[in-house]
Amino acid sequence: MYAAFSRSTEALSLERKVGQMGFRYAGDTNSQSKANTHFGRREICINANLTHEEAALSFAYELANASQRTAFEAGPLALWSHGPATRQAAELYAELTLRKEANSVLMRSKVAIAIGRADLIANQNYNAIAGLPELDGTQRAELAFQEMKANGRVNRGQTAAWNHYVAQYLAHKGIT
């Protein structure tokens, strides 16, 4: 995994930054999840059943999530913990989460392109957005967010991302 990952200088730089924040690679997810980041323990886990290239892309994605720890905690996770139990709050949670994850999606696409495996990205629009040199990072993140909101998928492509995060919030708050 690391040989593929290290072909991206931007990913290596992000890894150093996240390492300085105290995050570390902690092994397998021990679940069906491709990867996850635990902010409290400052751990990143990658599913051991992924190919080396898939693991590299998942690692890049989770590093980008970890690098936004403060923003996640102040935004969607604050709503998760202290927000009202309403449909409107659930949609705000979904929006804030997808806005943060838009940066992670772009990092994953940049690494996929750098290692010559852009084909591993299911939604090729993310690769197209990541490769728009005329846009700055904020503009690319906004386009990625819009794409994720409209067409993003989670749970290995089984669920619409927007619906997933709305439902996740509502379930956490005990609303069916």
pLDDT digits (tens, 9 = 90+) for 38-65: 999 999 999 999 999 999 999 999 999 9
Give every CB contact of residue 126 below 8 A, 6+ residues apart in sequence.
105, 106, 108, 109, 144, 147
**pTM beyond 0.85, yes or no:** yes
* Nearest C-alpha neighbor of 87 from the set 161, 150, 169: 169
What is the mean pLDDT, run by run of 10 residues, along the chain of 176 residues? Answer: 86 96 95 92 96 95 96 90 88 96 96 95 97 95 98 90 95 87
As a whole number of angstroms, the distance between CA 55 and CA 123 comes to 17
Question: Is 123:106 a contact under the CB 8 Å cutoff?
Answer: no
Pairing of strands 24-25, 43-46: parallel
How do 43-46 and 159-160 pair as beta strands?
unpaired
pLDDT on residue 32: 84
Alpha-carbon span 137 to 139, nearest angstrom? 5
How far apart CA 3 and CA 94 sit, in angstroms, is: 34
